[in-house]
Chains A and B, each alone.
Chain A
Amino acid sequence: MKLSRRLFLAGSTAAIATPAFLRHGLAQSSPIKIGSLIPLSGGGAPYGPEKNKAHKAVVELVNAAGGVLGRKIELITDNTETNPEAAVRAARKMIDADQVSAIIGTWASSVTLGIMPLCQEANVVQLFTGSSDFLPDGDKKRLCFNLQPLNAAWCVALAGLAAKRGFLKVGFAGPKNDFAASMGASFGKSLKEVGGEIVGEPLYYNPTQVSYRAEAEKLIASKAPALFLAGYVTDFTALYRELIRGGYTGKIFALSFAVGPDFKKAVGAAGNGILHGSPVPPVGKDTYDAYLRLVGLQPNGQILAPYGCAAYDEINLLLLGMASAKSTDARAVADHIMKVANGPGDRVTTFAEGAKLIAAGKPINYDGASSSADFLPNGMLKSRDFALYEIQDGNDVPLLTISSNAE
């Protein structure tokens, strides 16, 4: 056969075009990639594994039932090291090398904010847990969803408790980080709304100090009848010790994760009387129990895996959003996550239930394991249960559980 110019042109065109056809064909059956970017070392290390386990469990369940849009889900896991610099490099790999459709699971607000410009630029949906009030600012394209209430919501509950106990003048101290900085501002505002005020300037300290004597002296000198210390367990314990040693006798308000078993063991009876609170999973709710059983935990009426249940909602919402949008395009997925989360529609609690109704063309409303998973227009959580406790005889005694609204 003689190679004519026409044959050569037709042949080479076909040859050049082949990869494009192949790519098209492959795209229909290639897996949908999702990044599970969680803290496995650094400050968030205690919470990363439970988040990843929840993502994995749901993905396995969904894949066993045939996947989403007829495609399998592939979960790509990486470590944020609870550090924005390392997280940006990991996110780069997920976005550019793996080409993920979404990145879920980031924990520290600084990490979530750090990778946000990348995700926005590449049109990647983000679902995460974070409480810095600055989180909505970077989300110009409305691709972010937060499963944790913002600080503003926590503070409404704590300020309400303070006012109820007759403490209208409260001092504030916290580590100098993103979390506590926005907490101080929100707490002042919430306290003002119930007729109180912060005594003096909010005090921010460097959380890796060896001694907190100077901070404690300053707080005692402010003569505040009550103090709200928004610290983590290590710095809170050290600061609390210095306060007691210095003879402080006022009321202490704290965050529940700072006064866990480690703290109680360290200070013993001196910890009695502390009031504390935090967002909690809805203990005893069917969805929460279903999540616990899925990851192999037994519901026992206690708070287990407080971030894992939020991760369960992250992955379920994302996959339902994709199923509902019938696409993995970021804009469509984000719009449909809003739709399936807020309803109106039939209540669903798992991907399988939701996918069945979506296939039948019915609207759905996802009810989550960590909360009812309803979002404000800016993607931040509308409300979540918030529990308040008092330490009595070394045990947490629940005072009340309220749903605190972010609005």
Chain B
Amino acid sequence: MESYLIAILTVAGIYMIMALALNLQFGLTGLINFGVVGFYGLGAYTSGIATEIFHAPFIAGLICAIAVGAVAGAVVSLLSLRLSGDFLAIVTLGFAETIRLVFNNEDWLTGGPRGFLIATRQVFDGLGRSGAALMVLVIVAVAALAIFLLMQRLAKTPYGRVLRSIREDDLVPSTLGKNIFVYRLQAFVIGSAIMAGAGSLYAHYVQTITPDNFTTPVAILVWMSVIVGGAGNMVGTVVGSLAVVALYEGSRFLAPWLTFLDAEQVSALRFIVIGSALILIIRFRPEGLLPEKHQRPAEAAPPNLSSKGSSL
């Protein structure tokens, strides 16, 4: 059971990193990125190709993944950021599907539909099965913590305030002389690079990646994490990703109590339970489990009654 929890927490940690990156793009800046899996998959394959074909160590693979993710993010956003939110959503969705088709068809590079085997791991050999699994979890947890602190910091700085104001109404910051385009580009590129980094962590963890690993359902899980947790709130995203993975995995353990149903019905019921729980959360907590704190303007100083200054 411990090793199962370790495995699930590792997966949850990877989703958490992606959800934090999406929260920067969507939660703070209001950029709709439906192509989460595109950047995720790009990072996974880049890292795998770097370590397996070019025999680079894991760290180099991770750095390559982040770099390629950033470049891809820049290209996608330069193509569509000037356009409004809906267009970006469609372009990113198309990007993810295109990337998947490239993985599926460029057999010489990616192994095509049969998948890409990755021998390099994040950890040293000789730790044993459970030791290695625990080490991977520690690495993923440290990465998730680092990204969380970075995002938390970004959100609280004046930079984060500009991003939020762009989300609310981009006319306001632009009248204050902020270059909206550059801010959007930066938020999108940082988010995409982090998603690609998560892909690298995932690829070296599962060690076999196929194009089927990077289909839209994964992006939906990440989106649910952000929405359930509370868009714009980084702590909320952490809670949201843990809640979504707990719901997905926890519902598996219902089966022993449902012996009167056959296997098909149990598996269908699982999806009904997951769907209903999400609907209930959105119905009763429309802003997520931990809504973003409303930023109020600082209280104006009390009007100075005496024209001669303080009467101390």
Contact = CB atoms under 8 A, between A and B. Distances in A.
Interface of A: 36, 38, 40-41, 48-49, 52-53, 76-79, 83-86, 88-90, 92-93, 95-97, 109-110, 113-114, 116-117, 121-122, 132, 134, 138, 176-178, 181-182, 204, 206
B129 interface: yes
A89 B113 contact: no
A117 B208 contact: yes
Given A110-B210, A176-B112, A178-B113, A77 B1 contact: no
6 contacts: A41-B268, A84-B213, A96-B3, A97-B1, A110-B113, A114-B210
Across chains A and B, which 8 residue pairs bring their CB atoms closest together, nearest first? A96-B4, A97-B4, A79-B267, A96-B3, A40-B267, A178-B113, A52-B263, A77-B263
A40 B269 CA distance: 12
A141 to B, nearest CB: 13
Contacts of A122: 129
Contacts of B115: 84, 110, 113-114, 178
Interface of B: 1-4, 6-8, 11, 101, 104-105, 107, 112-115, 117, 129, 206-208, 210, 212-213, 215, 217-218, 248-249, 252-253, 255, 262-264, 266-268, 270-271
A41 B30 CA distance: 34
Contacts of A204: 105
Contact of B8 (A84, A92, A132): A92
Q: Which of A38, A49, A52, A96 has the most CB of B within 10 A?
A: A96
B264 A88 contact: no
Nearest to B265: A40
A78 B212 CA distance: 19
A24 to B, nearest CB: 19
A48 B264 CA distance: 8
Contacts, number: 104
A77 B255 contact: yes
Contacts of A90: 252
B113 A176 contact: yes
A278 to B, nearest CB: 21
A72 to B, nearest CB: 14
A10 to B, nearest CB: 30
B263 A132 contact: no
Given A96-B4, A114-B208, A181-B107, 14 more contacts: A40-B263, A40-B268, A52-B262, A96-B3, A97-B253, A110-B113, A113-B210, A114-B115, A117-B207, A177-B113, A178-B113, A181-B114, A204-B105, A206-B104
A80 to B, nearest CB: 10
B4 A92 contact: yes
A96 B208 contact: no
B4 A88 contact: no
A188 to B, nearest CB: 15
B114 A113 contact: yes
Contacts of A52: 262-264
B147 to A, nearest CB: 22
Contacts of B129: 121-122
A38 to B, nearest CB: 7
B116 to A, nearest CB: 11
Contacts of B253: 97
B249 A77 contact: no
Nearest to A206: B101
A204 B7 CA distance: 36
B247 to A, nearest CB: 13
Contacts of B3: 96
Contacts of A84: 115, 208, 210, 212-213
